[in-house]
């Protein structure tokens, strides 16, 4: 199959420990530009993670069940080597705020130096996700906060299993104000 027949493929790399609605938002935006998106989880034994790589793959598969344009994979070594190996010409990264910029800029330029055939494309999530990260999602859940609008349902369930706790109940509905 030629690359043209295969369509355009973008790689969306990251740790995804765990995937959040912010990631889902970027993936949806990626799908509006590219034919297929591969979520590529970095195997990084040096980094302490809550979910194993296998668990993260399982969670993402579940979140994207029935969506043939999204696949999940793992990689180690250089990201650009992985992208080239799977036939992706584009790396998609989310850019939430100015604070992301310097790290992302360095990474994009290093990746370009390593392989100028692979382009990095940045996408901005919906404003409501601009302060969301996997780390904060975990912290909020662990401290009993509500993560329902921050992570997909499968992640909320898996967080509850991990922390041996029930997911916090939905916030009580506000009583309607009585008309004066």
User: Nearest-CB residue to ligand PNS?
Assistant: 14
CA-based torsion, 77, 9, 30, 66: positive or negative? negative
Judge whether 146 counts as a catalytic residue.
Answer: no
Produce one character per residue of 37-47: b if its CB has 16 or more CB atoms within 10 Å, e if not: bbbbbbeeeee
Of the candidate residues 33, 43, 78, 86, the single one contacting ligand PNS (CB under 6 A): 78
Look at residues 172, 162, 135 and name the one whose alpha carbon lies nearest to residue 150. 135
Of the candidate residues 13, 94, 125, 152, the single one contacting ligand PNS (CB under 6 A): 13
Judge whether 47 counts as a catalytic residue.
Answer: yes
Of the candidate residues 86, 110, 126, 165, the single one contacting ligand PNS (CB under 6 A): 110
Min dist CB 16 to ligand PNS, Å, is: 7
Partner residues linked to 42 by β-bridges? 75
**Alpha-carbon dihedral angle through residues 154, 13, 42, 84, given to the nearest 10 degrees:** 140
The CA distance from 141 to 118, in Å, is 37
Judge whether 130 counts as a catalytic residue.
Answer: no
Min dist CB 170 to ligand PNS, Å, is: 29
Judge whether 162 counts as a catalytic residue.
Answer: no
> What residues line the site for ligand PNS (CB under 6 A)?
13-15, 42, 78-79, 107, 110-111
Catalytic residue positions?
A: 23, 47, 96, 134
């Amino acid at each position: 199959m030629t690359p043209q027949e295969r369509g355009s493929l973008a790689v969306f790399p990251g740790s995804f420990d765990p995937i959040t609605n912010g990631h889902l938002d970027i993936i949806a935006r990626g799908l509006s530009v590219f034919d297929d998106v591969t979520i590529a989880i970095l195997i990084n034994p040096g980094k302490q993670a809550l979910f194993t790589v296998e668990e993260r793959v399982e969670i993402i598969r579940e979140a994207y069940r029935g969506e043939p344009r999204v696949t999940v994979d793992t990689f180690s070594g250089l990201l650009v080597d992985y992208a080239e190996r799977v036939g992706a010409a584009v790396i998609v990264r989310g850019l939430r705020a100015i604070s992301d910029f310097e790290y992302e800029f360095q990474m994009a330029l290093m990746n370009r130096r390593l392989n100028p055939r692979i382009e990095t494309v940045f996408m901005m999530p919906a404003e409501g996700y601009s302060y969301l990260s996997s780390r904060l999602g975990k912290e909020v859940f662990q401290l009993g906060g509500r993560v329902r609008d921050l992570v997909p349902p499968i992640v909320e369930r898996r967080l509850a299993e991990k922390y041996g706790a029930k997911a916090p109940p939905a916030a009580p509905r506000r009583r309607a104000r009585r008309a004066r």
